[in-house]
Amino acid sequence: MSTELPGPTRPDKISIWPVEDDRFGIDVLYHGATGFRRADQVQRQLQAAGVPALLRQEHGDGWIVRFGPVERAQMLTVLNGFVW
């Protein structure tokens, strides 16, 4: 499976927080109809790659992909390969 996404997928906001055992949780926020398409695509690709990820609507036109907890190396791989 290719990790290439249609168009830029840079989110409007990224939140990263530490959890137990040097792992991290990450929220990636997109806005609007285009944001929904990007968030949906990112979430599907993360799940296909075996990374637990949820997609949820946030305050009207916001869409959050939440993934983790993941180790630091996996967090960087996900951010570089799927999100940014």
* Phi, psi dihedrals of residue 13, rounded to the nearest 5°: -160, 145
Q: Using CA atoms in the order 79, 47, 26, 33, what is the torsion angle rounded to 10 degrees?
A: 80
- Domains of the chain, by residue range, sit at 13-19+28-69+77-83
Q: Which two tokens stand for residue 19?
A: 């959890």
> For position 8, what pLDDT does the model report?
57
CB neighbourhood size of 62 (10 A): 17
pLDDT digits (tens, 9 = 90+) for 12-31: 999 999 998 889 999 999 99
Q: Rounded CA gap, 12 and 19, in Å?
A: 23
Tell me the average pLDDT across 43-72.
Answer: 90
Mean pLDDT, rounded, for 44-73: 90
